[in-house]
Amino acid sequence: MNAVIVLTRSLLRQTLRNRQGLFWTLFFPLVLMMVFSFLGNAPSRVSLAVVAPQGASNTVVQAFTRSPVFTVTRLPRVVALREVQRGQLAGALFVPKEPAPHHPIALTLRYNNANALTAQQTVGAVEAYVAETDLALSGHPPWLRVSVRALTHSHTATYLDFLLPGILALMAMQNSLFGIGAGLTRWKEKGVLRRFRATPVLPGQFLAATLVHYVIIGLASALIVLGFSTTVLHATVLIPWGAVLTVLMLGMGTFLAIGFIVAGLSKSQEATVPLINLISFPMMFLSGVFFPVSSLPHLVTEIVQFFPLTYMTNALRGLMSGQFTPHAAAFGTDLLGLAAWLVATGVIAARVWRWE
């Protein structure tokens, strides 16, 4: 244990002396947050689940399906609400059974209010299309009526509130992948790891110290970004510390394991960086860090929902926006997804890791 503590302190001192690396680890995410906090997002189509029981108005369902404004998926009630809560869909429209003649059809829209811009776009698009369809079908309003409700009683978030959880997840991925992947490859290339095996330090102690070091750096980075965002940029987010820490630890563990896989497969720094970029860049822009996954094409959404960064971003955003509680089924789904990635990547890392 003493060897692990001494090695961890040594690695931390080395990190603090590397000013360029410290900038990219701690302060670049702050710059990124300041830039994106002034930007919004405007997806071209609204992803909508339509929940229509047997005997529901086919006219309404077909009208929304044909609309160029929406990407419509018919889902059962429970699945639709879960996907909206996880941010995979912008809203769920409930179509009742066909009413008696001359009675209006009362539609209900449930939407995710974790991002104010997306929520406003969803509600505005549905209300406007319902009014347009109502007039076209009946010749005079109001044949259709729509009531809108947020999925939870959480506060309506700004784009900064939406962005913050994604930045935390992105930092965990970047610090872990580049730290372990590039760092261990560099040490292998210079023969540092081989020389370590000739010392009294056990290989397991060295690896434990390395992991503890990067976990400490990752948690410190998250605290700095959270403090800066809430005190300087005035982000208004909830922070259930136990659940947030659990997500961060699972996420960092997964990406550290992927970093070990990269370091085990790579023979040089020149091969490591492109491989890490190949892994991280698609997740950075498709896992919901900067804009909702629901704004992506349906086929892409079906793929990226299984990315580890997507699970991590969804879990953090759900907790910090109030959409999830630590006992929510949707939160449990994201935790299980992260845990599965951690186990799978850990097993692969143990098989491919080489000291030389």
Q: Are 334 and 305 in contact (CB under 8 A)?
A: no
Q: Which residue has the tokens 């931390």?
A: 12
* Contacts made by residues 8-15, CB under 8 angstroms, sequence distance 24+: 8/209, 8/212, 8/213, 8/216, 11/209, 11/210, 11/213, 12/213, 12/216, 12/217, 15/213, 15/217
pLDDT per residue rounded down to tens, the chain (356 residues) = 677 787 788 777 777 776 656 665 666 666 666 655 544 444 457 888 899 887 666 778 888 888 888 888 888 988 888 888 777 888 899 988 776 666 778 888 988 776 666 777 788 888 887 877 766 665 555 567 787 877 665 555 677 888 899 999 999 999 888 888 887 878 777 777 777 777 777 777 878 888 898 899 899 999 999 999 989 888 888 889 999 999 999 999 999 999 989 888 887 777 787 888 888 888 988 888 888 887 777 788 888 899 999 999 999 998 888 878 888 888 889 999 999 999 999 999 989 887 76
pLDDT attached to residue 19: 64
How do 91-94 and 105-111 pair as beta strands? antiparallel
Report the 10 Å Cβ neighbour count for 128.
Answer: 11
Q: Are 140 and 179 in contact (CB under 8 A)?
A: no
pLDDT attached to residue 139: 54
Using DSSP's 3-state secondary structure scheme, residue 50 falls into strand
Pick the closest to residue 27 from 231, 189, 224 (CA basis): 224
Q: Where are the domains of the chain?
A: 2-36+157-352, 46-150
Plot region of 238 (φ>0 → left; ψ -120 to 50 → alpha; else → beta)? beta
Backbone phi and psi for residue 37, each to the nearest 5 degrees, phi listed first? -70, -20
pLDDT attached to residue 335: 94
pLDDT attached to residue 135: 66
Using DSSP's 3-state secondary structure scheme, residue 71 falls into strand
CA dist 197 and 203 (Å) reads 7
CA dist 257 and 234 (Å) reads 34
- CATH code for the part of the protein at 46-150: 3.40.1710.10
Pick the closest to residue 133 from 91, 112, 101, 104 (CA basis): 104
Give the distance, in angstroms, between the CA of residue 278 and the centroid of all CA atoms in the same chain.
18
Pick the closest to residue 298 from 1, 73, 126 (CA basis): 73
pLDDT attached to residue 42: 43
